[in-house]
């Protein structure tokens, strides 16, 4: 008995200490160790932009898609990093359960609430591609207008086909000024694979045009005079020095191996998020107090123990959110708040079972022991269904739902452990009730006091 009491006190002290650390780390000027583990807030709470781009992988062999997407991610990440956004998250989202075979890039930019800036930040990444004249040129109708001039409305792009040589093979770009003319030109240096590819292309196309496309527009279409084996190419469009300089810097931060297009954006201002956090804390607190009052009034001493177990559950969960870390969104906070309610279920099951056993004539202590044992199958089966739901929701895909599924599922699992072990520990550490008053404090409900 003494040993149990010591363990119970130790658990209580550890719990209070953990609670203190969680609160202290949110207060101003926390110690360095605590400052390293803040709550990680999602974009909807901290403010920022979330952009989703769709990658067009139709031109890429199925086996290369994953590596191409990875390099798209790297390129965008580099670009985002140069703009000094704190903790950007760039992720590839491929297919996933219940979806068509799509490849998307999800970009989260905390603190960036100006969508124009965010779009420009990513949109500047150029898509560079080399194309050659098609073997089967498509005849074009040139219409002579009433003014006697031929129309210039000719579809040039249909005359060219992709070579597979694109920005992925670029090693470095440089701004140079052509000798004599002093015209700004952009010099490209390919990597080893690109050099070989470029050599093959130029060899096969001597006397023909090789067009250089940037973001789907022809920027230069020189005629190949000789095979180029050095892996260098020069783009001499009609650049201004500023344009050439911008192109070089954006090419160097990386050209995209696949074209991407923006399909969805979300921007949340910082005030809205702060309001949501405040409201979430309020809802959790008010709910906790009401539930606590109910438990203590209905279940008395075991109810008090259940409230302590619930408080410990809350503290453990919050500490885990910091340590894992779990990114909290409004939906995630909702999941947490609901999980507080669910965490009580196991205790209610046990207490109700214990009450039945007591009605069958067992002593209070015995009834609790049997109650714990017999309630277990119900607790297990009831929680498995919730875990199944959380699991399926987690693989639903969208980040909003993932946040909810994670806090909800984590809550169910932690509460399963805390509600049983902690409640049992404390109840067994308490003195066995004697006499009428003792029994009253361990009974439940309102009609019970008569029995």
Partner 1 sequence: MFVIKFKTLFISISVFFVTAAIVSLIIFGLPLGIDFKGGSALEVQYSGPRPTVSAVTTAVTNAGFTNALVQPVGSNGLMIETQTLSDAQRAAVLAAASLEQPATQTSFTSIGPSVGTELKHKAIASIILVLIAIILFVAYAFRKVSQPVSSWKYGFAVIIALVHDLIIPTGVFALLGHFYGAQVDTLFIVALLTTLGLSVADTIVVFDRIREHLNGSKSTSFPKLVGESLSETFVRSINTSLVVLVMVLSLAFFGPATTKLFAITLAVGMFFGTYSSIFLASPLLVVMEQGRKKKK
What residues numbered 84-143 form the site for partner 1, per CB under 8 A?
96-100, 102, 115-116, 119
Total residues at interface with partner 1 (CB under 8 A): 73
Identify the residue among 169, 213, 408, 442 touching partner 1 (CB under 8 A): 408
Distance CA 18, CA 195 (A): 59
By CB under 8 A, residue 294 contacts partner 1: yes
Whichever of 68 and 314 has its CB closer to partner 1, that residue is 314
By CB under 8 A, residue 449 contacts partner 1: no
Identify the residue among 13, 282, 297, 324 touching partner 1 (CB under 8 A): 282
Identify the residue among 385, 421, 432, 449 touching partner 1 (CB under 8 A): 385
CB of 179 to partner 1, least distance (A): 42
CB 412 within 8 A of CB 387: yes
The pattern of x and - marking residues 142 through 171 that bind partner 1 according to CB under 8 A reads ------------------------------
Q: Please tell me whether residue 110 adopts helix, strand or coil conformation.
A: strand
- Count CB atoms within 10 A of the CB of residue 277: 17
CB 225 within 8 A of CB 205: no
* Stretch touching partner 1 by CB under 8 A, among 192-200, 314-322, 333-341, 365-373: 333-341
Whichever of 132 and 331 has its CB closer to partner 1, that residue is 331
CB of 392 to partner 1, least distance (A): 5
CB of 417 to partner 1, least distance (A): 17
By CB under 8 A, residue 384 contacts partner 1: yes
Q: How do strand 327-328 and strand 40-41 relate by DSSP bridges?
A: parallel
* Residue 49, beta-bridge partner list: 109, 267
* Stretch touching partner 1 by CB under 8 A, among 77-85, 152-160, 163-171, 332-340: 332-340
Q: Please tell me whether residue 326 adopts helix, strand or coil conformation.
A: coil
Distance CA 230, CA 287 (A): 71
**In b/e form, how buried is each residue of 116-125, taking b as 16+ CB within 10 angstroms?**
eebeebbbeb
Whichever of 26 and 275 has its CB closer to partner 1, that residue is 275
Which residues in 297-316 contact partner 1 (CB under 8 A)?
298
Distance CA 436, CA 347 (A): 24
CB 74 within 8 A of CB 62: no
By CB under 8 A, residue 331 contacts partner 1: yes
Distance CA 349, CA 371 (A): 8
By CB under 8 A, residue 189 contacts partner 1: no
Q: Which of 274, 163, 170 is nearest to 210 (CA)?
A: 163
Structure tokens at 270: 């910082």
Which residues in 222-281 contact partner 1 (CB under 8 A)?
263-269, 271-272, 275-277, 279-280
């Amino acid at each position: 008995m003494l040993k149990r009491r010591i363990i119970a006190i130790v658990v209580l002290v550890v719990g209070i200490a953990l609670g203190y650390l969680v609160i202290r780390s949110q207060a101003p000027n926390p110690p360095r160790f605590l400052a390293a583990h803040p709550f990680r807030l999602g974009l909807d709470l901290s403010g920022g932009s979330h952009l989703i781009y769709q990658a067009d992988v139709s031109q890429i062999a199925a086996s290369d898609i994953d590596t191409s997407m990875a390099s798209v991610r790297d390129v965008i990440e580099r670009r985002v990093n140069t703009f000094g956004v704190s903790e950007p998250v760039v992720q590839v989202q491929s297919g996933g359960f219940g979806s068509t075979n799509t490849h998307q890039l999800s970009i989260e930019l905390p603190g960036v609430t100006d969508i124009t800036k965010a779009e420009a930040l990513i949109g500047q990444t150029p898509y560079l591609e080399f194309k050659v004249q098609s073997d089967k040129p498509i005849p074009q109708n040139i219409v002579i207008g009433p003014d006697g001039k031929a129309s210039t409305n000719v579809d040039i792009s249909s005359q060219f086909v992709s070579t597979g040589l694109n920005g992925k093979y670029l090693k470095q770009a440089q701004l140079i000024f052509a000798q004599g003319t002093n015209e700004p030109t952009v010099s490209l240096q390919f990597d080893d694979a690109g050099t070989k590819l470029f050599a093959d292309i130029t060899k096969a196309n001597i006397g023909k045009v090789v067009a250089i496309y940037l973001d789907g527009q022809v920027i230069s279409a020189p005629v190949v005079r000789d095979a180029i084996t050095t892996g260098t190419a020069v783009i001499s469009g009609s650049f201004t020095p500023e344009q050439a300089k911008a192109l070089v810097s954006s090419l160097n931060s990386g050209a995209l191996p696949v074209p991407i297009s923006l399909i969805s954006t979300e921007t949340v201002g910082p005030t809205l998020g702060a309001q949501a956090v405040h409201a979430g804390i309020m809802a959790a607190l008010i709910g906790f107090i009401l539930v606590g009052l109910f438990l203590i009034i209905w279940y008395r001493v075991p109810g008090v123990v259940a409230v302590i177990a619930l408080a410990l559950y809350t503290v453990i969960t919050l500490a885990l959110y910091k340590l894992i870390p779990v990114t909290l969104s409004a939906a995630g906070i909702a999941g947490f708040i609901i999980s507080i309610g669910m965490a009580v279920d196991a205790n209610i099951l046990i207490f109700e079972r214990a009450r039945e056993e007591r009605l069958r004539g067992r002593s209070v202590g015995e009834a609790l022991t049997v109650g714990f044992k017999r309630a277990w199958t119900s607790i297990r089966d009831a929680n498995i269904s919730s875990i199944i739901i959380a699991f399926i929701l987690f693989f639903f895909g969208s980040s909003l739902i993932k946040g909810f599924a994670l806090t909800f599922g984590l809550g169910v699992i932690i509460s399963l452990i805390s509600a049983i072990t902690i409640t049992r520990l404390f109840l067994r550490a308490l003195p066995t009730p004697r006499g009428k008053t003792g029994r009253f404090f361990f009974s439940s409900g309102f009609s019970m006091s008569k029995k």
